[in-house]
Amino acid sequence: MKKVIGWSLGIYLVFGLFIAWYLFLGANTDIPAQLKGSPADPQTFMNERELLLSEEYSKIKNLLFFLSVPFEWLIYTLVLVIGISAKFRDWSKVSAKFSILQTAIYLFWLSLLVEVLSFPLSWISYNVSKTYNITVQSTQSWMKDLLIDFWVNYALMILIVGVLFWLIRRNEKRWWFHAWLLSIPFSMFLMFVQPVIIDPLYNDFFPLTNKELETKILEMADRADIPADHVFEVNMSEKTNSLNAYVTGIGSNSRIVLWDTTLQRLNENEILFIMAHEMGHYVMKHIYIGIAGYLVLTLVGLFIISKFMSFMIRKWGHIFKISSVKDIAVLPVFLLLISVLSFVSDPVSNAVSRHQEKSADLYALEMTDDNKAAVSSFQELSKAGLSQVNPPFLVKIFRYGHPTMLERITYTNEFEKSEE
C-alpha cells in the first residue's frame, strides 16, 4: 500500500513539473512570421496589457486543467488503496437495509469526499478567473452553483449507479452492453430536458429583448429552413465577462442561446455572424452526429471498462478489500477508468469538434458574406476571454473543441464566397 501511494504521488509530482515546464518555458506560442501584422496577429488588436494578461491567464488556467484531471485519478486511487471505499460500503450496509438506500448513502460519502478534496483546485481556478476579471461572480453565487452541481450530480448518480450495479449483479459478463442500451434513451432524455429543467437552475433564460435583432436572426433562420420562434438570451453578465453563444437540446426543445455579454460587447453584424454559425450546426446536423459519436465511444468505453475492472479486482482486490465487481465499493475503479478513457479520447473528439466548428464558420461566412464582422468577432472573443491566439500543441489537442483563434481568423480573413 505504501508503495502504491508513494508511486502515485511521485508520478503526479513529476507530471505536474513537466506540464508547468511545458506551458511556461517549453511551448512556443509565437505567431508564424508570415502572419505577423495580419488580423490574426494579437498585436494588431490587443494592447500590451491585454497581450501580457492573455498569456499569463491562459498558462495558469491550462496548468490547472492538466493538474486537475490526474488529481482526480489520484483521489480515486487513494480511496481504493487506503480502503476508504470499502469503509463507505460497510457504513452504508450498517445504516440501511434496502440496496437503493445503501447505494445512496455510499454515494453521498464518496461524492462528498471527492468534492472536498477537489475544492482547493476549484477555489484556485475561481480566484484566478476573478483576479483576471474573467469571472465577476460573487463568492456566494459561485458557492451556490457548486452546491447545485453537487446535488444535481448526486441525484443523477443515484439513478445511474443504482441501475448500473443492478445490471452487473444480474449479468456480470454482459452488463456493459445492457448498460449501453439503457444509456441511449437516458442520454436523449437528458438532452431533451436540459434546456428547460437543468440549465435554468443556474441562470435566467428569456426571449431576446432586442426584437429588431431577433427579427433579423429569425429571417436568417427562415432562409436556412430552420423552424424557430425565438432566440434566447441568458443573463451571464452577473457571472462572467466572457462571450458565448450555443445550440442546446434536441427536437422541440432545441434552443439557440446568446449570452447577454455577447449582446453588450459585439455589434449587430458580429452577432448575426455568430447566429449564422450556430444555425450552421443545426443545418449540418452536428448535434445528431455528436450523439452518434458519443454512443459509439460509450459502447467501446464500457466494454474496455468491464475488462479492466475485472482484471483490477482479480489483481488488487485484496488491497482494495473488494472481492467482486458486484460490490458497490468498486465504483471508484469504474469512475477512474471513465476519467482516464475520457482524457485519452479527448484528442479524437476534439478533432471532430474542431472540424464541425470550422464547417459552421464557413457556413456562416457563406450566409452573411461578411468577413470583416467574422474577423472582428473572433478578435473580440479573444480579448474578452484573454485566450491565447496560438496555444501550445498539447493544449490544442486536449482542450480545444474549436479551431484556435489563429486558425479561425486566418481562414475567415482569406475566405471567398463560392459562386452559385
Catalytic residues: 278, 361
Contact 235, 260 (CB under 8 A): yes
Q: At what angle do helices 175-193 and 286-320 cross, to 10 degrees?
A: 130
Type of residue at 223:
R
Type of residue at 59:
K
Give the C-alpha separation, 88 to 194, whole Å: 31
Label residue 352 exposed, middle or buried (CB < 10 Å: 0-12, 13-18, 19+). middle
Label residue 69 exposed, middle or buried (CB < 10 Å: 0-12, 13-18, 19+). middle
**Cell, residue 142:** 459561485
214 is in an annotated binding site: no
The residue assigned the cell 477512474 is: 336
DSSP per-residue codes, 101-145: HHHHHHHHHHHHHHHHHHHHHHHHHHHHHHHTTSB---HHHHHHH
Give the C-alpha separation, 274 to 244, whole Å: 9
Angle (nearest 5°) at CA 223 between 218 and 226: 65
Within 13 A of 334's CA, how many CA atoms are on the CB side?
20
286 is in an annotated binding site: no
Give the C-alpha separation, 393 to 15, whole Å: 17
SS3 (DSSP) at 240: strand
The residue assigned the cell 488488487 is: 316
Distances (CA, A) of 406 to 141, 297, 330, 401: 34, 30, 45, 14
**Cell, residue 154:** 448526486
Residues 6 or more apart whose Cβ sits within 8 Å of residue 57: 128, 132, 134, 386
Give the C-alpha separation, 79 to 110, whole Å: 9
Q: At what angle do helices 405-413 and 371-385 cross, to 10 degrees?
A: 170
357 is in an annotated binding site: yes
Q: Which residues line the annotated binding site for Zn(2+)?
A: 277, 281, 357
